[in-house]
Structure 1
Amino acid sequence: MDNSEHDNLSGIEEKLGYRFKTRTLLQEALTHRTYVNEAGGGRDNQRLEFFGDSVLDFLLSEILLTRFPGCREGELTRMRAALVDEVSLGRISAALGIGSGLRLGRGEDKGGGREKRSLLADAFEAVLAAVYLDGGIESARSVVNGCFLPLLDSHETLSGRDFKTDLQERARIVRHELPSYRLKEISGPDHDRRFTVEVYLGDQRMGEGTGRSKKEAEQAAARAALAMMKGEG
């Protein structure tokens, strides 16, 4: 490990508020498959991402259940979906400095992989899994609380917004047309399917979103479109 990588890992640990006992777990969490392909061996972060996804869902569900005792299942589901969509996880990951610590293949690195929301979101889940495996559930809970409790104070997450309905209303008022959604791709193994959906107003592509169901992906795409439309009308 060179000094630059050591500094990147130390910076991520500082922002996480967690110091790894087994640092190779953190390195694995930051290793993209393109790096392993070029190196000709080793382990990428996909297994940790799979586990981290479940850890994150569990801990966020616990937070939401406790914090919003009056909310029904549908409201809690929408809030959780808003917290774990690609936009939110990408922002959190970037704030933790995970992008600078990613181990990428040369092509992915040159192609801007350190700023790609999808890579950052996946890496955050892998890092959370690494924290759990290294320090247990309480360490993982501390990281999730530190990253997500501030988001719960934002009005759009707290309200469990239905972004599709919001986009439909805004598009009708500002553009005088309704959004349409197109399934772009389905990726991942059977146990961890990811749906990517694009949203259009007329012929203009307004954004895309990824989720573990088509509905979740559509909500994420609508959220991206609303961000693009901010300031219109």
Structure 2
Amino acid sequence: MRLMREDGGMYQYMRVLFLDEEEEKEKEKKWLLSLKEVEDIIGYKFSNKNLLREAFIHTSFYYPEEPRECNQRLEYIGDSVLNFVIDTELFTLYPDSPPGVLTRLKSANVDNEKLARVAAKCGLHRFLRHQLLGLDDWYPVHSNGLIDTPKILADTMEAVIGAVFRDSNSVDTVWKVFKRLLEPIISPQTLKVHPTTELHEFCQKNRISIRFVEGSNNEKNSTYHVVLGNNNEVIGTAIGACKKEITKNRAAKAALDHLKSTIS
């Protein structure tokens, strides 16, 4: 659409982002029909289709006519429900496990990396309405905290969980639907310790003093060093265009590998 303004006999044109109304309605219709595939993927039929629709509208999606709902509220309730059902399952499965172990198990089963991987595996990102570049190219791999996974995929998974809960009003239904998708559930036997935690445990056992030193950071890169406490020797360094937590884990992994090879 072009907006025209007469100014001294000259027409000035301003290009305005505007989706053709009929074209948008047709896109909306096709998208709504495609959401039936989501029901097949998760094995649940919604009574209220609007909840399913809302779960797949990201905040970045642009509506020219009027602002509409997005999936943030469903993501919020989905996060809480997921934590509850995982807590309940772990508490039941491992009656002798102390709270610390249960907490680590829950964190591993509901972290962004795992949820993003599940969403990608199920292809849920294909149905998300958004204005983000490159989303279809994001295929997360489980990395034990060493790869920066797209949070939007985890958020979508939580929004769908929230939608199922609001539609069914039943945490039992939520668990029945999503247990299959979340499997394998990480157990005490398969639980991997994040590199930072493993490094601290290794150093404590071997009476080694270390500290993390944050290097120069900018908008594109973050840097972390692991330094021995007694002589300031750098034993692990990581530089990455990712979250600080990921860079810190990579530095810890490098330091841990160095210490293990040195001591052994």
- TM-score, normalization: structure 1? 0.69
Superposition pairs of residues 15-54 of structure 1, within 5 angstroms: 15-36=41-62, 40-54=66-80
Match of 2:151 in 1: 118
Number of equivalent positions: 197
Q: Which protein shows a greater Rg?
A: 2
Does structure 1 retain, via aligned residues, the 8 Å contact 2:223–2:237? no
Amino acid at match of 2:162: A
How far residue 87 of structure 1 moved from its aligned partner, in angstroms, is 0.7
Structure 1 residue 104 corresponds to structure 2 residue 137: no
How far residue 37 of structure 1 moved from its aligned partner, in angstroms, is 6.0
Match of 1:3 in 2: 30
Amino acid at match of 1:123: T
Q: Which runs of 5+ in 2 are unaligned?
A: 1-27, 139-148, 203-209, 215-221, 226-235
1:41 aligns to what SS in structure 2? coil
Distance 1:34 1:130 in 2: 19
User: CA 1:36/1:206 → structure 2, altered by over 3 Å: closer, same or farther?
Assistant: closer
Superposition pairs of residues 160-171 of structure 1, within 5 angstroms: 161-166=193-198
Superposition pairs of residues 116-155 of structure 1, within 5 angstroms: 117-137=150-170, 138-152=172-186, 155=189
Distance 2:104 2:42 in 1: 26
Does structure 2 retain, via aligned residues, the 8 Å contact 1:31–1:45? yes
User: CA 1:30/1:135 → structure 2, altered by over 3 Å: closer, same or farther?
Assistant: same
Match of 1:188 in 2: none
* Structure 1 or 2: more helix by fraction: 1
1:34 aligns to what SS in structure 2? coil
- TM-score, normalization: structure 2? 0.61
Q: Which has the higher contact order (CA 8 A, sep 6+)?
A: 1
Greater Cα offset, 12-21 or 64-73: 12-21
Match of 2:11 in 1: none
For the aligned residues, what is the CA RMSD? 3.8
Superposition pairs of residues 39-118 of structure 1, within 5 angstroms: 40-105=66-131, 108=132, 110-112=133-135, 115=138, 117-118=150-151
2:185 aligns to what SS in structure 1? helix
Distance 2:151 2:162 in 1: 17
Q: Which runs of 5+ in 1 are unaligned?
A: 171-177, 183-196, 210-216
2:190 aligns to what SS in structure 1? helix
Does structure 2 retain, via aligned residues, the 8 Å contact 1:198–1:207? no
Does structure 2 retain, via aligned residues, the 8 Å contact 1:49–1:126? yes
